[in-house]
Amino acid sequence: MERETNDPREVIYDQTLYPLIARIQGICKEHKIAHVLSFEIGKDDDGNEVRVNSGMWNPGDSQTIAKAIDLITEKPVTFGLTIYKTPPAP
């Protein structure tokens, strides 16, 4: 269920950024490129921050990405999260 918002940042995210992010995620997944993305796009009905976070890391990669995910999810917020963990290379 999609929630209604009056925050223009959320509308811009949905209409403009999301398609770009989906493309970036696909490229990163295909080429096993570790990344973390975080967007603060508004407030929910209770006044909490709404964030969209995405990340991917591979076994053997630096722990920097894992630490970044921990940092951006450290306090309770309303968010969407997409994380891909790729299997080890043969």
Number of H helices, E strands in the chain: 3, 3
pLDDT at 14: 87
Is 62 in contact with 81 (CB distance < 8 Å)? no
Q: What pLDDT score does 82 carry?
A: 55
20-29, pLDDT tens digit by residue? 999 998 998 8
Q: What average pLDDT does range 78-89 have in this prediction?
A: 53
0.85 cut: is pTM over it?
no
Main-chain phi, psi angles of 9, to 5 degrees = -65, -40
Coarse DSSP helix, strand, coil percentages of the chain, rounded to the nearest 5 percent: 35, 30, 35
> For the segment 63-75, what is each residue's pLDDT rounded down to a tens digit?
888 788 778 776 5
Q: How many CB atoms lie within 10 A of CB 50?
A: 20
> Average pLDDT in the 9-27 region?
90
**Nearest residue to 50 via CA among 41, 38, 63, 61:** 41
